[in-house]
Structure 1
């Protein structure tokens, strides 16, 4: 059996651009993608803190260290420049994969520059509650 699992996330990043005329996707600072174990063209879920909107799309790397978070195409109607978002990356894992699995939470500053990467295992997961994003 495969378990759908959040393998990484970028927590409380700010949308830097919303480009309605682009064909789709989300452009994410390549440094943040690497830190969250998100690969180019991988499907991600974008969650808006202001609007409670959720959108799924694929990723395109933006310049390394740029802080860019640009929603492209239809989600430009849902997310505005300055909105805080949580970007989730999902993977499918076997039970044995989950024994070695490490979830990554990427924390950023107000300009979307990398501040910290928190790594959690199945054994440490109970310590997450109340500690992230504060």
Structure 2
């Protein structure tokens, strides 16, 4: 079995840190549902501002609140306004990777969803893996790559 991305909230901002609550991250149920993240599911959290990396479980806040609240010890790693990447994981047999299309949501500064993307893995005629990022309509977007040291981003 391989651990792969199940869903991702990319660029969501911390709305509150609550050191006195007994742990977890509180998220808007609408965001979780759209990304396929379940209540009580463990997620990895990467703070783009500080570089902190933590793991905790999800509890649901008020629907439509756009909240992202770090609770308990996790509150020490993130401050209101910090930009986070929150990623759930699933385990799959390697051959099943082509059946997945994990959702990736991107956010503006007010935690409104800006994009709803999907990751897609397929195989070409030679059996080699191909990776694509798809928009809501299923159109393929450029994959951001850097070719060689100091070169411009391609795509």
TM-score (norm 2): 0.78
Counterpart residue number, 2:74: 75
Counterpart residue number, 1:11: 10
Displacement after TM superposition at 1:52 (Å):
0.4
**How many residue pairs get matched?**
130
Displacement after TM superposition at 1:24 (Å):
0.3
The question of whether the paired residues in 1 share the 8 Å contact of 2:119 and 2:132 is answered with no
The question of whether the paired residues in 2 share the 8 Å contact of 1:15 and 1:85 is answered with yes
Counterpart residue number, 2:131: 125
CA distance in 1, matches of 2:67, 2:76: 18
Alignment of 1:18-37 (within 5 A): 18-37=17-36
CA distance in 1, matches of 2:91, 2:61: 26
Q: Where do 4+ consecutive residues of structure 1 move more than 4 Å?
A: none
Higher normalized contact order (CA 8 Å, seq sep 6+, divided by chain length): 1
Map Cα deviations across residues 20-61 of structure 1 (whole Å, 9 max, x no partner).
000000001111101110000000011001110001000011
The question of whether the paired residues in 2 share the 8 Å contact of 1:11 and 1:106 is answered with yes
Map Cα deviations across residues 71-110 of structure 1 (whole Å, 9 max, x no partner).
0000111100000000011110112431211121111221
Computed over aligned residues only, the root mean square deviation of the Cα atoms, in angstroms, reads 1.6
The question of whether the paired residues in 2 share the 8 Å contact of 1:44 and 1:58 is answered with yes
CA distance in 2, matches of 1:126, 1:109: 23
SS in 2 for 1:23: coil
CA distance in 1, matches of 2:132, 2:110: 30
CA distance in 1, matches of 2:50, 2:108: 21
CA distance in 1, matches of 2:40, 2:96: 23
Displacement after TM superposition at 1:129 (Å):
3.0
